[in-house]
């Protein structure tokens, strides 16, 4: 698989998350145009102020588990690739399904959108989602 060129436009899901902020910064430093998904405009505005780059913008995706959650962003964005980094992480989760459901649903939704709109470059990543809540009923 060839590397994306420095003039590429990349969608980064979960752009306000710990790992994604580093991914976005790295992509911007390499000269890419980056659009980040966030759950609400205040998170997006925070990132715009943080990066201070005309190559960064955001789109609101309120619920990554919702059917077709990423369709509008992917269709209208004309992206060269996607870095799917969105995955919930909370330290006070009582039910593992509160982490696993959005992680699986969000990943399924971004892959379906990529397929539907012809994207060929998708990178999936997460960090520490199942540390203490590893499912035992597989």
- Per-domain residue ranges of the chain: 9-124
Q: Report how far residue 121's alpha carbon sits from residue 99's, in angstroms, rounded to the nearest whole number.
A: 26
Q: Report how far residue 71's alpha carbon sits from residue 53's, in angstroms, rounded to the nearest whole number.
A: 25
pTM: 0.85
pLDDT at 97: 77
pLDDT at 138: 46
- Do residues 106 and 13 lie in contact, with contact meaning Cβ atoms separated by under 8 Å? yes
3-state helix, strand, coil in the chain (%, to 5): 35, 15, 45
In the 8-state DSSP scheme, what is residue 94?
S
Q: Report how far residue 103's alpha carbon sits from residue 134's, in angstroms, rounded to the nearest whole number.
A: 13
pLDDT at 99: 75
pLDDT for residue 5 is more than 80: no
What digits encode the pLDDT tens for the residues 38-92?
999 999 999 999 999 999 999 999 999 999 999 999 999 999 999 999 877 666 7
In the 8-state DSSP scheme, what is residue 16?
T
Q: What is the CA radius of gyration of the chain?
A: 15
What digits encode the pLDDT tens for the residues 117-127?
998 888 888 66
- Structural class in CATH, domain 9-124: alpha beta
Containing 119, the helix (H) or strand (E) segment is none
How large is the average pLDDT for residues 85-113?
Answer: 81
What digits encode the pLDDT tens for the residues 20-42?
999 999 999 999 999 999 999 99
């Amino acid at each position: 698989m060839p590397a994306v060129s420095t003039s590429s436009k990349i969608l980064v899901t979960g752009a306000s998350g710990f790992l994604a902020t580093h991914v976005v910064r790295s992509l911007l430093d390499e000269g890419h145009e980056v659009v980040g998904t966030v759950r609400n405009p205040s998170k997006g505005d925070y990132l715009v102020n943080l990066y201070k780059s005309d190559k960064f913008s955001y789109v609101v995706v309120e619920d990554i588990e919702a059917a077709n959650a990423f369709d509008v962003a992917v269709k209208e964005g004309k992206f060269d690739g996607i870095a799917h980094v969105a995955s919930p992480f909370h330290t006070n989760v009582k039910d593992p399904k509160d982490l696993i459901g959005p992680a699986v649903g969000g990943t399924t939704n971004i892959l379906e959108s990529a397929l539907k709109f012809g994207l060929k470059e998708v990178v999936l990543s997460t960090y520490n989602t199942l540390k203490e809540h590893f499912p035992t009923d597989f």
